[in-house]
Amino acid sequence: MTASHEDERPLLRVRGLTVAFPTAAGATEVVKSLDFDLARGGALGIVGESGSGKSMTSLAIMGLLPKGAERTGSIEFDGAELTALKEREMQAVRGDRIAMVFQDPLSSLNPYYTVGTQIAEAYRSHRTGVTRRQARRVAIEAMERVHIRDAARRVDHYPHQFSGGMRQRVMIAMTLSMEPDLIIADEPTTALDVTVQAQILDLLAEIRRDTGAGLILITHDLAVVSEVADHLVVMREGDLVEQGTAERVFCDPREPYTRMLLDAVPRIDDEIGLLKTTTAEEDR
Q: What is the contact surface with ligand ATP in residues (CB under 6 A)?
A: 21, 30, 48, 50-56, 66, 220
Other CB atoms within 10 A of residue 73 CB? 16
Mark the segment that binds Mg ion (CB under 5 A) among 55-63, 120-128, 169-177, 204-212.
Answer: 55-63
Closest to ligand ATP by CB, 70 or 156: 70
52 binds Mg ion (CB under 5 A): no
Q: Report CA Rg, the chain.
A: 19
Nearest distance from C-beta of residue 235 to Mg ion, angstroms: 10
CA-CA distance, 72 to 76, in Å (whole number)?
Answer: 13
Q: Which does 66 bind (CB under 5 to 8 A by kind): Mg ion, ligand ATP, none?
A: ligand ATP
Q: Cα separation of 52 and 282, whole Å?
A: 35
Nearest approach, Cβ of 224 to ligand ATP (angstroms)?
Answer: 12
The least CB distance from residue 138 to Mg ion, in Å, is 30
Backbone angles phi, psi at 146, to 5 degrees: -95, 15
Instruction: Pick between residue 55 and residue 258 the one whose CB is nearest to Mg ion.
Output: 55
Which residue number places its CB atom closest to Mg ion?
55
By beta-carbon proximity to ligand ATP, the closer residue of 206 and 255 is: 255
Our CA dihedral for 106, 190, 21, 32, rounded to 10 degrees, sits at -140
Shortest CB 55 distance to ligand ATP, Å: 3
Cβ-based neighbours of 199, under 8 Å, separated by 6 or more: 165, 279, 280, 283
Residue 65 DSSP symbol: P
Sequence-distant (≥ 6) Cβ neighbours of residue 239 within 8 angstroms: 32
Q: How far is the CB of 218 from ligand ATP (least distance, A)?
A: 7
55 touching Mg ion, by CB under 5 A:
yes
Q: Which does 52 bind (CB under 5 to 8 A by kind): ligand ATP, Mg ion, none?
A: ligand ATP
Judged by beta carbon, residue 56 or residue 232, the one nearer ligand ATP is 56
Q: Provide CB contacts within 8 A for 23, sequence distance 6+.
A: none
b/e per residue, 112-143, with b = 16+ CB within 10 A?
A: eebbbbbbbebbbebbeeeeeeebbbbbbebb
Which of 36, 123 has the CB closer to ligand ATP? 36
* Nearest approach, Cβ of residue 54 and Mg ion (Å): 5
